[in-house]
């Protein structure tokens, strides 16, 4: 008679504690819920269709780098600098998605891109 | 080597065509290279007149560091120099002591490129020897191969500051680098920063241009004045020529 409510309370407490543990994530990596919120870019459209860019921007950048550095073909719109004219914050755009996807491009050790 | 073949195949034909296209006296440098890229018809070169270069002037060195974000660590053994000043004394004192800037000689047969295991060092179509810093693994073979000590390894992390040139990347540790003839400026129709600075300082000791264009100032000077290259005996055919050495 006495033990029934107390074990129920204990059960409730455990359930609460467990769900809280599931819901709680360290505030720095609060990513458990869905895709990251990216800052909206300035321009109307990207240098290539958005869908395509989402999947292929790394190859796109590497190709344009190969052309610029090795062949001297400097297409202004395809340069890494140009991304910043619309995606004006690295932290709120590039980095946010990269952190979510678990990639860490080292480009910005050398290249300038606004924070 | 590919460059050599290309050049001998195109030979003077390309040079004459380039000469016709450029109205004489308008500009030594070509139009911006957007889309077209580096042209195999060009051979960028420099002529340094040691008679006009004075020991106390360091305008070219400062301009280079500023333009290319070349860091100065203050450790003689590890500092990065794209261009440095060298004093040459004649042992018998029959010739006057001269000081001259020494930079990457942009050899026609660059030993640094031959030894590079990752093809990070390469010759661009217009003859400029470059390091693709994206491919460099920092092995330093090229530094040993270069007889002009033109290359440096980046030993320390660097930081972007307010004075840094945002147009040009900074460095990451463990990558070899050297003078690029300011390739980012060339591709936009400007001449290298050191040459600009030398002119602005009123020395006019440095001349830059296209050797393949017979009407260019540099081609004329190299034809008419006695010029030398450093260590021609090595057979590397440097494209930095010196007058009065």
Q: What is the ipTM of this complex?
A: 0.78
Q: Are the Cβ atoms of B34 and A74 closer than 8 angstroms?
A: yes
Residue A86, in any domain of the structure: yes
Q: Which residues of A touch B2 (CB under 8 A)?
A: none
Residue B18's closest CA among B43, B42, B45?
B42
Report the alpha-carbon distance of residue A100 to residue A52 in Å, rounded. 19
Quickly count: other Cβ atoms within 10 Å of residue A80's Cβ. Answer: 16
pLDDT value at residue B125:
94
Report the alpha-carbon distance of residue A81 to residue A77 in Å, rounded. 9
Q: Mind listing the domains of chain B with CATH numbers? A: 2-15+17-243 (3.30.70.20)
Where is average pLDDT lowest: A2-11, A45-54, B84-93?
A2-11
DSSP codes, B84-95: EEEEE--TTS-S
Tokens at residue A22, please? 């599931």
More confident residue, A32 or B73: B73
Q: Does A81 touch chain B (CB under 8 A)?
A: yes
Residue A4, in any domain of the structure: no
Report the alpha-carbon distance of residue A66 to residue B163 in Å, rounded. 28
pLDDT value at residue A102:
94
Residue A37, in any domain of the structure: no
pLDDT value at residue A68:
95
The pLDDT tens digits of the residues spanning A89-111 come to: 999 999 999 999 999 999 999 99
8 Å CB contact between B79 and B153: no
Regions of chain B where pLDDT drops below 70: 1-35
Residue A79, in any domain of the structure: yes
pLDDT value at residue A24:
53
pLDDT value at residue A22:
52
Name the pLDDT band for A27 (thresholds 50, 70, 90): very low
Predicted structure pTM score:
0.83
pLDDT value at residue B11:
34
> Is the pLDDT score of A54 beyond 60?
yes
pLDDT value at residue B36:
77
Q: Are the Cβ atoms of A106 and B172 closer than 8 angstroms?
A: yes
pLDDT value at residue B92:
87
Task: Please give the interface size between A and B, counted as residue pairs whose CB atoms are below 8 Å apart.
Answer: 50
Name the pLDDT band for A9 (thresholds 50, 70, 90): low
Residue A66, in any domain of the structure: yes
Name the pLDDT band for A36 (thresholds 50, 70, 90): confident
8 Å CB contact between B168 and B184: yes
pLDDT value at residue B24:
40
8 Å CB contact between B44 and B106: yes
Q: Are the Cβ atoms of B134 and A65 closer than 8 angstroms?
A: yes
Residue A65, in any domain of the structure: yes
Q: Which residue has the tokens 């990558």?
A: B175
Q: Which residues of B touch A69 (CB under 8 A)?
A: 130, 132, 134
User: Measured in whole angstroms, how far is the alpha carbon of residue A44 from the centre of its chain?
Assistant: 21
Q: Does A104 touch chain B (CB under 8 A)?
A: no
The whole-number average pLDDT for the span A84-92 is 93
Residues paired with residue B242 on neighbouring β-strands, in sequence order: B48, B228
Domain ranges, residue A75: 42-115
Domain count, chain A: 1
């Amino acid at each position: 008679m006495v033990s029934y409510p107390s074990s129920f309370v204990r059960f409730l407490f455990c359930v609460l504690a467990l769900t809280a543990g599931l819901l709680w994530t360290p505030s720095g990596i609060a990513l458990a819920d869905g895709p990251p919120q990216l800052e909206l870019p300035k321009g109307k459209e990207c240098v290539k269709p958005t869908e395509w860019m989402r999947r292929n921007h790394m190859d796109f950048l590497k190709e344009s780098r190969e052309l610029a550095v090795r062949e001297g073909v400097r297409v202004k719109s395809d340069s890494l600098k140009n991304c910043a004219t619309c995606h004006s914050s690295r932290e709120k755009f590039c980095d946010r998605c990269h952190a979510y996807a678990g990639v860490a491009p080292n480009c910005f050790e050398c290249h300038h891109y606004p924070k | 080597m590919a460059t050599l073949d290309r050049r001998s195949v195109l030979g003077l034909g390309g040079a004459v065509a380039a000469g016709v296209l450029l109205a004489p006296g308008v500009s030594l440098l070509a139009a911006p290279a957007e889309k077209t890229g580096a042209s195999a018809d060009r051979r960028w070169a420099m002529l340094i007149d040691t008679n006009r270069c004075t020991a106390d002037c360091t305008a070219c060195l400062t301009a280079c560091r500023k333009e290319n974000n070349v860091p100065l660590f203050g450790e003689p053994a590890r500092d990065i120099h794209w261009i440095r000043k060298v004093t040459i004394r004649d042992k018998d004192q029959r010739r006057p002591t001269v000081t001259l800037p020494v930079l990457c000689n942009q050899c026609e047969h660059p030993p640094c490129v031959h030894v590079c295991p990752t093809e990070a060092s390469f010759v661009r179509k217009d003859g400029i020897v470059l390091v693709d810093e994206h491919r460099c693994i920092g092995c330093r073979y090229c530094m040993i191969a270069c007889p002009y000590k033109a290359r440096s390894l980046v030993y320390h992390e660097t930081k972007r500051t307010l004075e840094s040139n945002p147009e040009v990347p900074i460095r990451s540790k463990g990558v070899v680098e050297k003078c690029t003839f300011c390739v980012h400026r060339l591709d936009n129709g400007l001449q290298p920063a050191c040459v600009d600075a030398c002119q602005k300082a009123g020395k006019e000791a440095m001349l830059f241009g296209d050797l393949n264009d017979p009407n260019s100032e540099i081609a004329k000077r190299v034809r008419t004045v006695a010029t030398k290259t450093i260590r021609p005996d090595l057979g590397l055919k440097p494209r930095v020529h010196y007058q009065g050495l």
